Amino acid sequence: MHDATPSTPRLAVLTGDRPTGPLHLGHYVGSLKTRIELQETHTQYILVADTQAMTDNAHDPDKVRRNVLEVALDYLAVGIDPRKSTIAVQSGLPALAELTLLYLNFVTVARLERNPTIKEEIQARGFGRDIPAGFLCYPVAQAADITGFKANVVPVGEDQAPLIEQTNEIVRRINRQAGVDVLPEAEALIPSMGRLPGVDGKAKMSKSQNNSIPLSATPDAIREAVRSMYTDPNHLRASDPGTVEGNVVFTYLDVFDDDRAEVERLKASYRAGGLGDMVLKNRLEDKLQALIAPMRERRERFAEDPGYVFSMLKAGTDRAKAVTQRTLDEVRTALGTFSFASVRS
Ligand code: TRP
């Protein structure tokens, strides 16, 4: 063999985050950590999903706008490398809006209303009967995000799994209608630990619940958050036996402490009685300070140069624009749907 064997093309990855506030440890555990690994082996696209953020923040577009740069800074802070990953701003990609309009014809309102993620979110936002149509339909827009980049892999927290499922239903319908597999199905890459609970013990860490630790938190804020963490309410004295299950400090140690053997020893000694909460909290605080300190430092360095961050976003958005426009053209051609250019023929 004289010719070099062409290497198999890299699989594509697409994820996004709504720019509504600083990213936190839940984002890190649920998705960002995986993205840092995937950028070495995959063609990775990351969307600052400002258009999607508008589906429940139409009353506060300024918040969304302000947070675009903040989320970009969080990406750079955790180690997303713009030479390896393409970071793009969703509102700069009109092909995604056009794909959304097309896909809306391949999904029913009943199916949208059945989506468990949407049901939960409608509940949490207290929309009652006044659900913005854009909100109900954002899973279709998210299907456009994912398929616009022909993503094979979507690293997300488990709460997003129903959205990937709905995406793949749309993909199958489009492909069936087209008679050709113009779009790939996507696989959700969900971390095995499930979702990171909030510091208050609630099921999900979320900025709006005020139970999150931002990746940009100051050392004092980290200490404060750990001190306030939910443990075992019946563990009043160090000498009392304590419960490990549902004890947020242990849940976090399971995630953030690499010394598994030591964590198991601590659990045993906590259960038996004789181990105080403060010992555990100090240990966890050390781990979190060590994890977040380099992120905070990188963030501060990039924050000094917003011009760089903006041009990085611009370059990424331009690349993503070309990719998504090509997909839109392919889908239209495969479906035989019109574009203005085809009207005359
Ligand atoms: N829905 C995601 C969230 O709320 C954000 C998002 C937008 C996304 N587009 C995406 C996630 C595409 C994965 C793939 O966090």
Tell how far the Cα of 66 is from the centroid of ligand 1, in angstroms.
18
Which pLDDT score is estimated for 5? Answer: 60
Does 344 have pLDDT greater than 90? no
What fold does the segment set 12-196+305-342 form as a domain?
A: Rossmann fold (3.40.50)
First-residue to last-residue Cα distance in the chain: 47
The ranges of the chain annotated as CATH 3.40.50.620 are 12-196+305-342
**Calpha distance 78→322 (Å, rounded):** 27
pLDDT for the residue 208: 80
Q: Point out the ligand 1 atom lying closest to the alpha carbon of residue 157.
A: 15
Q: Provide CB contacts within 8 A for 325, sequence distance 6+.
A: 95
What's residue 6's pLDDT? 63
Residue 14 CA to ligand 1 centre (angstroms): 9
**So what's the pLDDT on residue 8?**
78
The three-state (H, E, C) secondary structure of the chain, written as one string: CCCCCCCCCCCEEEEEECCCCCCEHHHHHHHHHHHHHHCCCCEEEEEECHHHHHHHCCCCHHHHHHHHHHHHHHHHHHCCCCCCEEEEEHHHCHHHHHHHHHHHHHCCHHHHHHCHHHHHHHHHHCCCCCCCHHHHCHHHHHHHHHHHCCCCEEECCHHHHHHHHHHHHHHHHHHHHHCCCCCCCCEEECCCCCCCCCCCCCCCCCHHHCCCCECCCCHHHHHHHHHCCCCCCCCCCCCCCCCCCCCHHHHHHHHHCCCHHHHHHHHHHHHHCCCCHHHHHHHHHHHHHHHHHHHHHHHHHHHCCHHHHHHHHHHHHHHHHHHHHHHHHHHHHHHCCCCHHHCCC
Mean pLDDT, the chain, integer: 94
What is the spatial distance between Cα 50 and Cα 19, in angstroms, rounded to a whole number?
A: 6
pLDDT of residue 1: 45
User: For ligand 1, atom 13, which residue shows the shortest CA distance?
Assistant: 15
3 pLDDT above the threshold of 60:
no
Assign 341 a pLDDT band (cuts: 50, 70, 90).
Answer: confident
CA 25 / ligand 1 centre spacing (Å): 16
Residue 260: its pLDDT value, please? 95
Q: How many CB atoms lie within 10 A of CB 89?
A: 21
Q: What is the pLDDT of residue 74?
A: 98
Which residue has the least CA distance to atom 2 on ligand 1? 17
The predicted model gives 93-115 an average pLDDT of 97
Beta-sheet pairing, 187-189 with 12-17: unpaired
Distance 78 CA to ligand 1 centre (A): 18
Closest protein CA for atom 5 of ligand 1? 17
Tell me what pLDDT residue 343 has. Answer: 74
Residue nearest to atom 9 of ligand 1 (CA): 16
Q: What is the pLDDT of residue 194?
A: 78
Residue 256, token pair as written in the block: 């953030």
Q: Which residues contact ligand 1 via a Cβ below 6 A? A: 14-18, 47, 49, 52, 142, 145-146, 154, 156, 160
Nearest CA to ligand 1 atom 10: 16
125 versus 257: which is more confidently predicted?
257
| Other beta carbons within 10 Å of 296 | 18
Which residues does 263 contact at the CB level (< 8 Å), separation at least 6? 250, 253, 254, 257
**Where along the chain do the CATH 1.10.240.10 domains lie?**
219-301
Q: pLDDT tens, 188-236?
A: 999 888 789 999 998 888 888 889 999 999 999 999 999 999 999 999 8
Joined together, the tokens standing for residue 93 give 């990609």
Query: Is pLDDT at 129 greater than 80 in this prediction?
Result: yes
Nearest-atom index, ligand 1, CA of 27: 15
Q: How far apart are CA 138 and CA 132, in angstroms?
A: 10
Ligand 1 pocket test target in 160, 163, 166, 190 with most atoms within 8 Å of CB: 160
| CA–centroid distance, residue 153 to ligand 1 (Å) | 13
**CATH fold of 219-301, please?**
Tyrosyl-Transfer RNA Synthetase (1.10.240)
